[in-house]
């Protein structure tokens, strides 16, 4: 049974995402980046932002700590099982993730999923192909440029005796210029064509035909997702 203190902590964790959402919904001119970016002069103190920011910072700190601990757990398991199963070689996994990251972006912006077919599961390939085919039909393109992979950390590894069921999740931190444009012509529909923006995602890899392929992209990196990850192996 949870103690009163544990219940309070659990309730606080559940409340933090709502506080962050509230922060994001506040009028943008309450904030100002260093150097004068954003925000206008003449407005009052932005007390809402001041009150919520400490909670946001605490949440982000715990989120990164959770990423760190889950990565350590996964790395320890991979080191142990790789001796018996070369498919779990850490350097090969890292290289595969990086190759996949850039190929998937190339196929998406090129609206040609054949470019990344060897890096995606059949399910994800079909999903992406349907979406990019629709872009072609509508005369649109999602332009991706200046693509960087800033960080890739395995946060869960699950090893089965049946290798076709093996999977791992990766925390991805990337940056790119990302906007939507008319094709042909290049007229910008939405997005910022001259500003590289950072983002984080969770990518799931599975084994298909003896190779690792991307099977799912989760655009939300939350405490619930990370807390549910548990690296494990049927070998032990």
Give the pLDDT confidence of 99-128 residue by residue, as tens digits.
Answer: 999 999 999 999 999 999 999 999 999 999
Q: Is residue 116 part of a domain?
A: yes
Give a yes or no: residue 12 inside a domain: no
Whether pLDDT at 4 is above 60: no
Distance (Å, rounded) from C-alpha 110 to C-alpha 120? 16
Instruction: Establish if 38 belongs to a structural domain.
Output: no
Reported as a single tens digit per residue, the pLDDT across 50-79 is 667 777 788 889 999 999 999 999 999 999
Task: Please give the pLDDT value at position 1.
Answer: 55
Q: Is the pLDDT of residue 135 over 80?
A: yes
Q: Which domain holds residue 92?
A: 59-233
Q: Is residue 180 part of a domain?
A: yes
For residue 184, say if its preceding peptide bond is cis, omega within 30 degrees of 0: yes
In a domain, 10, yes or no: no
Please tell me the least confidently modeled range out of 108-112, 119-123, 143-147, 219-223.
219-223
Could you tell me how many helices (H) and strands (E) the chain has, helices first? 5, 5
Give every CB contact of residue 183 below 8 A, 6+ residues apart in sequence: 136, 139, 140, 141
Whether 187 is covered by a domain: the verdict is: yes
CB 174 within 8 A of CB 148: yes
In a domain, 20, yes or no: no
Among residues 150, 161, 156, which one has the least CA distance to residue 200?
Answer: 150
Identify the CATH number of the domain in which residue 193 sits.
3.10.450.240
Between these two residues, 16 and 113, which has the higher pLDDT value? Answer: 113
Total number of domains in the chain:
1
State the DSSP string of 104-144.
HHHHHHHT-GGGGGGGB-HHHHHHHHHHHHHHHHHTEEEEE
Residue 211 lies in a domain: yes
Sign of the Cα torsion 89, 206, 209, 96 reads: negative
């Amino acid at each position: 049974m949870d103690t009163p203190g544990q219940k309070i902590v659990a309730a606080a964790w559940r409340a933090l995402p709502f506080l962050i959402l509230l922060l994001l919904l506040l009028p943008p001119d309450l904030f100002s980046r260093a150097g004068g970016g954003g925000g206008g002069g003449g407005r009052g103190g932005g007390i809402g932002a001041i009150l919520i920011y400490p909670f946001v910072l605490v949440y982000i700190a715990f989120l990164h700590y959770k990423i760190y601990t889950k990565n350590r757990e996964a790395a320890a398991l991979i080191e142990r099982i790789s001796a018996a199963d070369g498919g779990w070689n850490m350097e090969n996994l890292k290289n595969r993730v990086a190759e996949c990251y850039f190929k998937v972006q190339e196929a998406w912006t090129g609206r040609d999923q054949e470019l990344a077919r060897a890096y995606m599961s059949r399910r994800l390939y079909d999903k992406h192909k349907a979406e990019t085919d629709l872009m072609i039909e509508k005369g649109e393109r999602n332009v991706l440029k200046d693509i960087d992979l800033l960080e890739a950390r395995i946060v869960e590894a699950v090893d089965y005796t049946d290798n076709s069921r093996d999977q791992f999740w990766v925390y991805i931190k990337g940056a790119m210029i990302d906007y939507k444009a008319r094709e042909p012509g290049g007229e910008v529909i939405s997005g910022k064509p001259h500003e590289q923006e950072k983002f984080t995602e969770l990518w799931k890899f599975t084994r298909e035909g003896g190779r690792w392929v991307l099977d799912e992209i989760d655009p939300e990196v939350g405490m619930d997702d990370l807390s549910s990850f548990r690296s494990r192996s049927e070998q032990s």
